């Protein structure tokens, strides 16, 4: 079963219901070696689902002192594809290892990864 890290709008209940048709179960964790930046969203579907014009974005630093808190959600393969459809092209999905030792998918800055 895939795991997906959320540090932003995918934690919103309305976004989960609109994207996956259900609320997700997950646990708190931290991603080391990243900081948060911000991106302006222009995709009308994403704007409608999130209600936010600016979304956070993971930027890789490789600095062990940099950490981003969030939630690792348990999802299925179809939901991973639905998450891919929700995220705009400025994000790239990659696997990452977390402070807990878990491995999960993240959406990070496509121009830096």
Which three-class secondary structure state does DSSP give residue 32?
Answer: strand
Q: Of 60, 69, 72, nearest to 33 (Cα)? A: 60
Residues 9-57: tens digit of each pLDDT: 999 999 999 999 999 999 999 999 999 999 999 999 998 999 999 999 9
* 8 A C-beta contact, residue 33 and residue 63: yes
**Residue 79: its H or E element:** helix 77-86
Q: How many structural domains compose the chain?
A: 1
Residue 69 domain boundaries: 3-109
Residue 90, CB-side half-sphere exposure with 13 Å CA sphere:
14
Residues 64, 27: Cα–Cα separation, whole Å: 21
Helices (H), 3-63: 13-20, 44-50
What's the CATH number where 65 sits? 3.10.490.10
Mean of the pLDDT values across residues 44-73?
Answer: 94
């Amino acid at each position: 079963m895939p795991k997906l890290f959320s540090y932003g709008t995918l934690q919103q209940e309305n976004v989960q219901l609109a994207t996956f048709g259900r609320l997700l179960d997950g646990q708190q964790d931290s991603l080391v070696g990243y900081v948060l930046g911000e991106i302006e969203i222009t995709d009308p579907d994403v704007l409608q689902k999130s209600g936010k014009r600016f979304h956070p974005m993971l930027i890789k630093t490789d600095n062990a002192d940099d950490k981003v808190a969030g939630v690792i959600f348990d999802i299925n393969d179809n939901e991973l594809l639905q998450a891919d459809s929700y995220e705009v092209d400025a994000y790239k999905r990659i696997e990452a290892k977390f402070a807990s030792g878990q491995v999960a998918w993240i959406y990070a800055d496509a121009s830096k990864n």
